[in-house]
Amino acid sequence: MPLVGTKEMFKKAHEGGYAIGAFNVNNMEIVQGITDAAAALQSPVILQCSAGARKYANSHYLVHLVKAALEISDIPIALHLDHGADFDICKSCIDDGFTSVMFDGSHYDFKENIAKTKEVVEYAHAHGVVVEAELGKLAGIEDDVKVAAHDAAYTQPDEVEEFVKSTGVDSLAIAIGTSHGAFKFKPEQCTRNADGVLVPPELRFDILEEIEKRIPGFPIVLHGASSVIPKYVKIINANGGKLDDAVGIPEDQLRKAAKSAVCKINIDSDLRLAMTAGIREHFAAHPEHFDPRQYVADGRTYIKELVEHKIKEVLGSDGKAPEIMQLIKG
Ligand SMILES: [Zn+2]
């Protein structure tokens, strides 16, 4: 099966009350860990590359790594550009064979965001590629995207209908309290649960509901939706790392979102933490090792474990590959 777009994935996800995981990829072991997990659970999956990933690995490596994964698995895989900053990077990815791109015009004013998004949509649709856009502004840091907390803004439900209609976009990333990075909230914004884990304030499900009312059935995307899983933070800190007060989005809130119009949930920081945990744990146990295959493989093992957990416990997309392939094949 060739790379697929996200139209069929989102249609089924919306009808079935689940979400598709969009995992960021930067190298071979990350691609392998994610797609091994998705294939084992027969889950559809979106592999996404940021501008930073393209700079790090070279876009051609990433495209071919994803195509290799496709050749050895029988699940639907979409290749998506995460946070395209301008028309040129979106065009370049479309020309490279990506099946989905995000144009992030969230830092422009409303009218300019519409105009610039529309330009990308026209080129993408002419090439059979779908487009995700963003309204509202997430706080946090992810590669080249940096937004200070005081510049962050929730999505205005009043704007979504006009935005979707005038741009022709295929899915919409919204801001309802998620944020980029592993330090999503300051400890003083959180409470502690019985296990001593920092719990942040609840996502703004009221805004999500308002948005759903304005554009019923339209696929919604959540960025910055890692949970900063305490297990991996603990392993990192127990093996020489220093990640104090890292806080993410609790998984029960993401599960709730996955059952709604949210069809795509982005996960990057959790992958970084899982891989770092595997490598740090390996070095602490085997300081004499110097073969990268030994320690990077442990990072890959934790990535696979993490993605299996996300698919089963958060996204609910396990076993959904066949129904999507069926819809695509018509
Ligand atoms: Zn993002």
Classified as helix, coil or strand, 272 is: helix
> For 16, which DSSP code?
H
Task: Find the 329 Cα to ligand 1 centroid distance in Å.
Answer: 31
Task: Find the 141 Cα to ligand 1 centroid distance in Å.
Answer: 9
Q: What is the pLDDT of residue 184?
A: 81
Q: What is the pLDDT of residue 140?
A: 76
Q: Report the C-alpha dihedral over residues 134, 56, 315, 224, rounded to 10 degrees.
A: -40
Which of these is catalytic: 82, 143, 170, 268? 82
Task: Find the 268 Cα to ligand 1 centroid distance in Å.
Answer: 9
Contact call for residues 50 and 82 (beta carbons, < 8 A): yes
CATH number for the region 7-183+203-229+249-275+296-329 comes to 3.20.20.70
Percent of the chain as helix, strand, coil, to the nearest 5? 50, 20, 30
Q: What is the pLDDT of residue 252?
A: 94
Residue located via tokens 């920092």: 198
Give domain limits for the chain: 7-183+203-229+249-275+296-329
Task: Find the 224 Cα to ligand 1 centroid distance in Å.
Answer: 6
Task: Find the 267 Cα to ligand 1 centroid distance in Å.
Answer: 9
Q: What is the pLDDT of residue 148?
A: 72
Which mean pLDDT values do the consecutive 10-residue runs of the chain (330 residues) have? Answer: 94 98 98 98 98 95 96 96 97 97 96 98 98 90 71 89 98 94 84 84 94 97 93 96 89 95 97 98 98 98 98 98 95
Task: Find the 223 Cα to ligand 1 centroid distance in Å.
Answer: 4
Q: What is the pLDDT of residue 280?
A: 98
User: Is 252 one of the catalytic residues?
Assistant: no
Structure token pair of residue 323: 């129904």
Task: Find the 221 Cα to ligand 1 centroid distance in Å.
Answer: 10
Q: What is the pLDDT of residue 66?
A: 97
Task: Find the 220 Cα to ligand 1 centroid distance in Å.
Answer: 13
Query: Any bridge partners for residue 198, and if so which?
Result: 192
Burial 72-90 (b: 16+ CB within 10 A, else e): ebebbbbbbbbbbeeeebb
Burial 124-145 (b: 16+ CB within 10 A, else e): beeeebbbbbbbbbbbbebbeb
Query: What distance in Å separates the CA atoms of residue 271 and residue 259, rounded to the nearest whole number?
Result: 23
Task: Find the 100 Cα to ligand 1 centroid distance in Å.
Answer: 14
Task: Find the 171 Cα to ligand 1 centroid distance in Å.
Answer: 14
Contact call for residues 86 and 178 (beta carbons, < 8 A): no
Q: How does DSSP assign 256-269, residue by residue?
A: HHHTTTEEEEEE-H
Q: What is the pLDDT of residue 173?
A: 97
Task: Find the 285 Cα to ligand 1 centroid distance in Å.
Answer: 35
Give the dihedral sign, CA 327/213/124/78: negative
Q: What is the pLDDT of residue 137?
A: 86
Q: What is the pLDDT of residue 201?
A: 86
